[in-house]
Amino acid sequence: MNVIDKLATYEDQISPGISACVGCNIELTLRTCMKVLGPNTIFAIPPGCMGGVGVVGWDKQSGAKTPVFFPLLDNVASMLAGIKLHYEHIGRHVNVVAFAGDGASVDAGMQCLSGAAERGDKLIYICYDNEGYMNTGYQRSGSTSKGAWTSTTPVIDGHGGKKQNKKDFPMIMAMHDIPYMATMSPAYIPDMVKKLEKAMQVDNGLAYLHVYNPCVTGWGCKSDESIEVARLAIETNFAPLYEVENGKFSMSVVVKNPKPVREFVTRFKKFRHLTDEDIEGLQQLTDVRYARLQKLCQE
Amino acid sequence: MEFISEYIVPIGKEGLKIVDTGKWRTRKPVLDKSKCVKCGACLMYCPVNSVRKVADGSFEINYDYCKGCGICAHECKKKAIAMELVKEEK
Amino acid sequence: MATVKVINGNMAAAIGAKLCRPDIIAAYPITPQTPIVEYLADFVTGGELHSTVSEVESELSAMSVVTGASLAGSRVFTASASQGLSLMYEPYFRASTLRLPVVMAVANREMISPQTLWGGPQDSLTVRDAGWLQVYVEDNQEILDTMIMAYRMAEDKNVLLPVNVCFDGFYLSHMSERVEIPEQEQVDAFLPTYHPEHILLDPLKPMAVDPLTTGALLTEYRMKHMMAQQNALKLFEKLDKEYGKKFGRSYGGAVEAYRCEDADYILVTMGSMVGVAKDRVDEARRNGIKIGLLKLRMIRPFPAEQVATVLAGRKAYGVIDRNVSFGWNTGITYEEVCAAMYRANSFVPNIAFIAGLGGEDVTGKHIDCAIKMIVEQAGKTECHPTIWLNRKDMGI
Amino acid sequence: MKEIRLHGIGGLGTVKAGEMLVHATVASGKYGNSTPMFGFERQGAPVTSFVRLSNEKIRAKNQVYNPDCTLILDPSLLISAPVFEGMKEDSVAVLNTQVSDAQSLITSPNIKRVAWLDATTIALEMLGRPITNTIMLGAFVKATGWVDKVELEKVVLKFFGEKNVETFRRGYNDVKLFDFS
């Protein structure tokens, strides 16, 4: 079955109406992931955008058709590990999945996630990286890019913004030598579907999926350009698509003539104050990280 | 003591929580089937799962929950989807 | 037939847990609780216990793993102390508000600073208002027996709350003594298999756990939680009697009143110092002082009625705390006892003692001094300033 | 009830020695408890262990201040630790020392009997390591008679094996006794 037919026929596991922002590509990522994962899935939505928009639910109603719960911001992976251990203990297969933002993954929840990865807890951990705490009003996180405006790294009279580089978190997870690590993008849905299917096949440890999801509201994008902007992150090599299967790195999408990073960062508000020098800095970081990745792919 | 709820911890199982997001839109996507090449981009990228594939292999937009984001129109390579202003209902 | 062994308090907790056959165990090492984790790992590796153990990277994860497993339907066990307990505070609180029947042993240890690792219940008493049931015990046999009762209480449909079985670090955790270990069949007959119904993450019965909830509904959950705690108070007395019938040992339920019937004076305390205090009460009786001892076993829920019933009408009472209640300048259980007396509309002259902080030894002489001061308190209407028994200027 | 205070340094098996006394006593149908007191666990640091033995259930779980017996596993502790503090009247001291007239080392008037031997030399000779605990337990049993020798031998065998049963017996046989009149 081709991807369109899969997406047309798989049941949507999320409430038909959830309060995500208009044009939110995380909603797209969530629905796509859950369609592929299917009904035999328990998933955790820690505090963050997808929790805030009601995926877990409201009072006695649920926001999803499969079991879903709010873990704490900092214990997503270990709470899920407990659930998975229960099902392994009774000998039943269930997909146990995290759908967590970058705050709950690269910052507060990193210890638990790293522990679960090291122990080989059999989870599928999906991190939607929108570069900050978008649900609580656009604060910076360890995943926010250098220079970005956030509400805790404000820009006043053209000065300010985040002073540090973004954590290369997919690489950090890959270095745990987990069985499967992949980066994904809402602009590359067939690639996403393929990677989810691979993650579901992993039976000897943690599968980590990192989705680069530009945030329409927090970043100041136009809602209809939500996918285009996500695509530009790939086409500029700013957030390259790759996977690591049992230690083997490979590029999922090779961009033949990468566009300058400038084309990506000038498309929305959070980088609009950047000077040429700042943009050059982001370009250099992109080049360095991409070269490192290429080297790993050649090994 | 009488309680309203039978539950002792917060759990949701009395039904799906649904928000009528169809009311959010100011513009709505309108598909011109004559320009459509049935590539499925609209279905693939619709964040609210409002595009359906029908029996003849073509696509239809369901307006119940469509938020009017315009992604389908923007992503359509053949410009087969137009965003039209929603008329005020009387 | 029970077997008799010489074991330390940590082993008593580990064997108690083992006899209850938990499905999932997750705990992180911290002095003085560490051996519990090691013993259980040995049981599992040696094939004596068919549990799944998760070697977590922190106490935060220990509590998170067991709450996750409990949410999915497993019987679970964890253990911690002191800084470890405070690191798990976030999921700790939540285990109770999710009404998960987690059982957790606490080898009580003082909180830093200054740096310390010795015994004292400051750790678990500080989190007494996080919704758990807390039982404090006196010796190793009571650790083991209480572990078994704890699972029955936690999993009872009218309770469904997590339980802490607390025992003083080092004084009990590392003290070896004679303990009778019941047979597995006996325990199985007392503790049925756990079948969760109230909350469950299972794709065959999809539900959301913890959707956003309004204050009105949250209020209802809190009321039910508080009622469940009161149910636990009654159940604990009942279980204690049933346990006594089946295993030959019972402890009096939420409190134990020792030589209180005709007592003019009562000494109130808990934990590992109870034994030496009973010895000194006997000695005081030999010297003509009519004193009894009230041992607090349950601190949450607080057995207010039982405490007030025992203390009402006496000439004086005193409470020895191995902990402090910051802001009150007394120990924590002293304040709880005072509140119970106030609610019972009963005033008895009284005095607060603090002793044994940071694992300092509470000696017979300390208890003798406390008894003397309680006797002197008779007839007074003003509260006596707190006495710090271990302070050098007390000269004991 | 008999209360015993064991003085050792990390690595000598002081805590284990206390526990073995309890094991043997419980095996005889009696009661006992053993409470170790130490700081951060490491070799070479002073370790004290408190043991109570009784025909009845023992309630006290605290330290021993007025021992019926002090058991000193290393000679250095005679100088570095208050090993004779609070001794009960007519009490017993069991010493590991090379001194030939150990009664001269006793500074407490309450001690009635002194038992001593050069346990370190015996340990080095028999085990190749200066671990004196089982030798000292042999000396203790001979000096006090408070614990059944056969039961304690069984416990030593279970804890450490045949070789330590030999060291235990050597301690029992070699210990010298002196009673103050």
Q: How do residues C26-42 score in pLDDT, each as one tens digit?
A: 999 999 999 999 999 99
Give domain status of residue B12, yes or no: no
**Residues of chain C found within 8 Å of residue A109, distances taken between Cβ atoms:** none
**Residues of chain B found within 8 Å of residue C199, distances taken between Cβ atoms:** 9, 11
Residue that finishes a domain, picked among C247, C282, C317:
C247
Residue D40 has pLDDT above 60, yes or no: no
pLDDT, residue B2, reads: 59
C273-292 residue pLDDT tens: 999 999 999 999 999 999 99
* C-beta of residue C319 within 8 angstroms of C-beta of residue C334: yes
Burial (0-12, 13-18, 19+ Cβ within 10 Å), C167: buried
Closest in A40, A81, A89 to C65, CB measured: A81
Domain residue spans of chain A: 3-297
> Of D4, D11, D2, D25, whose CA–CA distance to D155 is shortest?
D25
**Is chain D adjacent to chain B, meaning 3+ CB pairs within 8 angstroms?**
no
CA gap A252, A244 in Å, rounded: 10
B9-61 residue pLDDT tens: 999 989 999 999 999 999 999 999 999 999 999 999 999 999 999 999 999 99
Cβ–Cβ below 8 Å for B5 and A60: yes
Same structural domain, C270 and C334: yes
> Of B81, B90, B37, whose CA–CA distance to B63 is shortest?
B81
Give domain status of residue B2, yes or no: no
A contact test, residue of B6, B8, B16 with most A CBs within 10 A: B16
CA gap C326, C319 in Å, rounded: 16
Chain D residue with the nearest C-alpha to that of C282: D59
ipTM given for this complex: 0.95
Q: Interface of chain A against chain C, CB under 8 Å?
A: 39-42, 54, 56-72, 74-75, 78-83, 85-90, 94, 111-112, 114-116, 118-119, 121
Q: How many CB pairs under 8 A join C and D?
A: 68
Q: Which residues 111-150 of chain C have a CB within 8 Å of chain D?
A: 117, 138-139
* C-beta of residue C271 within 8 angstroms of C-beta of residue C322: yes
A214-240 residue pLDDT tens: 999 999 999 999 999 999 999 999 999
What CATH number does residue C290 fall under? 3.40.50.920
Specify the pairing of strand C387-388 against strand C350-354. parallel
Residue type, C328: W
Of C209-213, D10-14, D44-48, the least confident = D44-48
pLDDT, residue D38, reads: 64
Give domain status of residue B65, yes or no: yes
Phi first, then psi, for residue C233 (nearest 5°) are -60, -45
Residue A279 has pLDDT above 60, yes or no: yes
Give domain status of residue B90, yes or no: no
pLDDT, residue C1, reads: 76
C contact test, residue of D54, D61, D65, D152 with most C CBs within 10 A: D61
Do you find a cis peptide bond into D109, omega within 30 degrees of 0? no
pLDDT, residue B1, reads: 53
- Residue found by looking up tokens 């009786």 in the block: C285
Domain region containing B45 = 19-85
pLDDT, residue A268, reads: 93
pLDDT, residue C198, reads: 85
Number of domains in chain C: 2
Q: Render the burial of A219-244: b for 16+ CB within 10 Å, e for the rest.
A: bebebbbbbbbbbbbbbbbbbbbbbb
C-alpha A172, offset from chain centre: 14
A56-85 residue pLDDT tens: 999 999 999 999 999 999 999 999 999 999
Q: Which residues pair with D5 in a beta bridge?
A: D50, D70
pLDDT, residue B7, reads: 87
Q: In angstroms, what separates the C-alpha of A159 from chain B's closest C-alpha?
A: 32
What mean pLDDT do residues A19-39 have?
Answer: 98
Residue C396 has pLDDT above 90, yes or no: no
Q: What is the DSSP letter of C131?
A: S
* C-beta of residue A130 within 8 angstroms of C-beta of residue A26: yes
Residue D115 has pLDDT above 90, yes or no: yes
Same structural domain, C183 and C299: no
Cβ–Cβ below 8 Å for C203 and A94: yes
> Of C138, C135, C157, whose CA–CA distance to C147 is shortest?
C135
Cβ–Cβ below 8 Å for B3 and C224: yes
Residue type, C278: K
Q: Which residues 31-90 of chain B have a CB within 8 Å of chain A?
A: 39-40, 43-49, 52-53, 64-65, 67-71, 73-75, 83
Distances (CA, A) of B28 to A24, A157, A250, B65, B82: 16, 38, 41, 11, 8
CA gap D154, D172 in Å, rounded: 15
C149-189 residue pLDDT tens: 999 999 999 999 999 999 999 999 999 999 999 999 999 99
What CATH number does residue C21 fall under? 3.40.50.970
Number of domains in chain B: 1
Q: What is the DSSP letter of D158?
A: H
Residue A117 has pLDDT above 60, yes or no: yes
Residue that finishes a domain, picked among C247, C276, C305:
C247
- B24 has a chain A CB within 8 A of its CB: yes
Number of domains in chain D: 1
**Residues of chain A found within 8 Å of residue B9, distances taken between Cβ atoms:** none
- B3 has a chain C CB within 8 A of its CB: yes
Cβ–Cβ below 8 Å for D61 and C172: yes
- B28 has a chain A CB within 8 A of its CB: no
Q: In angstroms, what separates the C-alpha of A117 from chain C's closest C-alpha?
A: 11
What CATH number does residue D29 fall under? 3.40.920.10
* C-beta of residue A109 within 8 angstroms of C-beta of residue A46: yes
Residue C88 banded pLDDT, cuts 50, 70, 90: very high
Cβ–Cβ below 8 Å for B11 and C209: yes
Cβ–Cβ below 8 Å for A227 and B67: no
Specify the pairing of strand A207-212 against strand A159-160. unpaired
Q: How many CB pairs under 8 A join A and C?
A: 152
Cβ–Cβ below 8 Å for C4 and D26: yes
* C-beta of residue A31 within 8 angstroms of C-beta of residue B47: yes
C222 is written with which tokens?
Answer: 């809190």
What mean pLDDT do residues C100-115 have?
Answer: 97
**Residues of chain C found within 8 Å of residue D37, distances taken between Cβ atoms:** 170
Q: In angstroms, what separates the C-alpha of D32 from chain C's closest C-alpha?
A: 6
A140-181 residue pLDDT tens: 999 999 999 999 999 999 899 999 999 999 999 999 999 999
Same structural domain, C191 and C321: no
CA gap C97, C113 in Å, rounded: 30
Name the packing angle between helices C140-155 and C9-19 (round to 10°): 30
DSSP SS3 for A278: helix
Number of Cβ within a 10 Å radius of residue C47? 7
Q: In angstroms, what separates the C-alpha of A96 from chain B's closest C-alpha?
A: 19
Closest in C6, C276, C363 to D23, CB measured: C6
Q: Which residues 17-76 of chain B have a CB within 8 Å of chain C?
A: 17
CA gap D37, C171 in Å, rounded: 9
pLDDT mean across residues, chain D: 95
C contact test, residue of B2, B8, B14, B17 with most C CBs within 10 A: B8
Residue D50 banded pLDDT, cuts 50, 70, 90: very high
pLDDT, residue D44, reads: 67
What CATH number does residue B59 fall under? 3.30.70.20
Same structural domain, C189 and C264: no
Closest in C61, C66, C211 to A57, CB measured: C211
D120-148 residue pLDDT tens: 999 999 999 999 999 999 999 999 999 99
What percentage of chain A reaches a pLDDT higher than 70?
100
pLDDT, residue B87, reads: 83
* C-beta of residue C72 within 8 angstroms of C-beta of residue C132: no
DSSP SS3 for A144: coil
Phi first, then psi, for residue A286 (nearest 5°) are -60, -45
CA gap D69, D83 in Å, rounded: 10
Most confident of B4-8, C214-218, C234-238: C234-238
Residue B89 has pLDDT above 80, yes or no: no
Same structural domain, C228 and C370: no
CA gap D44, D42 in Å, rounded: 7
Chains contacting A (3+ CB pairs below 8 angstroms): B, C
Is the CATH number of domain A3-297 3.40.1110.10?
Answer: no
Q: What is the DSSP letter of C140?
A: H
Domain region containing C301 = 255-394
- B8 has a chain A CB within 8 A of its CB: no
Closest in C221, C223, C227 to B9, CB measured: C221
**Residues of chain C found within 8 Å of residue A119, distances taken between Cβ atoms:** 54-57
C348-360 residue pLDDT tens: 999 999 999 999 9
Closest in B5, B13, B17 to C220, CB measured: B5
